[in-house]
Structures are given as structure tokens and as C-alpha cells.
A = this chain, B = another copy of it.
Amino acid sequence: MTNDSAQALCTNAKWIGRAHCGKCHIRQLMLFSDLPENAFDHLLQPIDQFTYPPGSVIYQADTHKPFIYSIRRGMVKLAHLAQDGSNRIVRLLGPGAAVGLELLDGAENYHHTAIAITEVDLCKIPVPTIRQLEDNHPALCMHVGRQLQEQLNLADQWIVALSTGTARQRVAQLLLVLDEFFADENDAFILLSREDMAAMTGIAVETVSRMIADFKRQKLLYRHRENYYMCNVAALEQITRLD
């Protein structure tokens, strides 16, 4: 619950290069999937790629920059920081997700603070460019809708799974989310900091630590390699049902 938002700023983001959306190798994941290659020939403003180190603030709630971001690699958290220092994470996003979409629906400012959890690669897309592409390619509008629907599903799951039940149930659900959405090819995922897990589930850091330590002792959670963990899905699902 401590205020760590100032620990890192996005000033250290590194420019990777101009994005070539027509030839993007993960385009089917991204916002621009199945737009024609030539859609990107005459953009009002260019789309650039950046790398952000862990902890970088991509944007802050209630501020305004005319960009949305598409995640190419890494994990991003969307958080709500209250004035009293409390810090609730409302979403965890990975490759293919877009953040800052509220700007497309007339929002003046970002609704959350977006922070890189791991090192991330982002495409930084100017809002006017999106509008231009939407005008020329109505299909993009559908993709934005799909992104929103996807995030709405995540938000609903967040309420049902991560904000309901006992502390042990919530932490178990969180591990299942990490396993389902953020595991690598070995089925291993990065174990988040206790503080982030606390902010995601709305419970105290110490309680999260106890639950995680407990799961490790019970071998429901075990290290695959440095900072990567695997979990016993069936056992954790059991816990989410009967405390």
C-alpha cells in the first residue's frame, strides 16, 4: 500500500525504431490485424516502437498525451492510485492488448496509470493516426470494439475471481490467471511482487506473502527457474471452490 509511483518515470524509454505495421510479425495479434498492407503508406503521424524497463510509468491517470499503446512484449498493469496512497490494480495486460483506448471515446485524460511490470515493447500510436485509419478502414472500428469487449471480460473476471472470496482463494485465482494468460512455452510464469499481488486482490501484502509461502510449502507452486514459477492447476482450482 505504499506509494511507489514515483520510483520510476518513462523518461528512460528507448526508441526502437519506426514501426512497419504492414510487415509486423505479430500483426494478427495486434490492433491492426487484417488491415491491408498499404493502409500504412500515408499516415498522418508515424507509429514508433519503444522499449520500457520494468517499473516505467507509460502514462499517468488524469494526464493527457494523444497516444494509445499496443503491447508487443511484456506485462503492463493498469492501476488506480488514490490520494491516500492506496493502489488498486484493475487489469493486467500482455502482448496484443491495447492500452489508453479511452482516448478514442472522447475521454479527455487517461483513466488509469499504466506501468510496465516486466520489460515491455510498445507501439506508440497517435490518436489522429487511429482516426485516419478508422475512416479509411471501418474494420478497424470492429477491432477496437473487440479490444474493449476483451478488456471488459477481463474486468468482470477481475471482480468475480480476484475481488471475491477469502485471501487464499483470491491468491489461488491470481496464480491461475498468471498460469493461463502469462505463462511461457514451458508453462512457467513470472511471480509478481507481493505488493502488486496485494494491489490486484485487495488484500494486505503480508497476507499475500503468507499464502504464497504456504502454496510453496505445499508444492502447489514451485520454481522452474530464477523468478519463473509453475503451479498445480487442479489443486489451486480446488482451493478456489472450497476455501
Contact = CB atoms under 8 A, between A and B. Distances in A.
Interface string A140-163: 011011101111110110111001
B155 A145 contact: no
Contact of A163 (B106, B107, B146, B202): B202
How many copies the complex holds: the figure is: 2
Contacts of A112: 156
Contacts of A211: none
Nearest to A89: B159
Contacts of A151: 152
Contacts of A101: 149
Indicate the size class of the contact surface on chain A.
Answer: 35 or more
Given A142-B141, A202-B164, A105 B149 contact: yes
Interface in A106-161: 106-107, 111-112, 138, 141-142, 144-146, 148-153, 155-156, 158-160
| Shortest 3 CB-CB contacts between residues of A and residues of B | A155-B155, A163-B163, A148-B148
Interface of A: 80, 84, 86, 88, 90-91, 101-102, 104-107, 111-112, 138, 141-142, 144-146, 148-153, 155-156, 158-160, 163-164, 202, 241
Given A90-B160, A155-B156, 7 more contacts: A90-B159, A102-B153, A105-B145, A141-B141, A141-B142, A151-B152, A155-B159
28 contacts: A80-B156, A80-B159, A80-B160, A86-B164, A88-B160, A88-B164, A90-B156, A102-B152, A105-B149, A107-B149, A111-B156, A112-B156, A138-B141, A141-B141, A141-B142, A141-B145, A145-B145, A145-B148, A148-B149, A148-B152, A152-B152, A152-B155, A155-B158, A155-B159, A159-B159, A159-B163, A163-B163, A163-B164
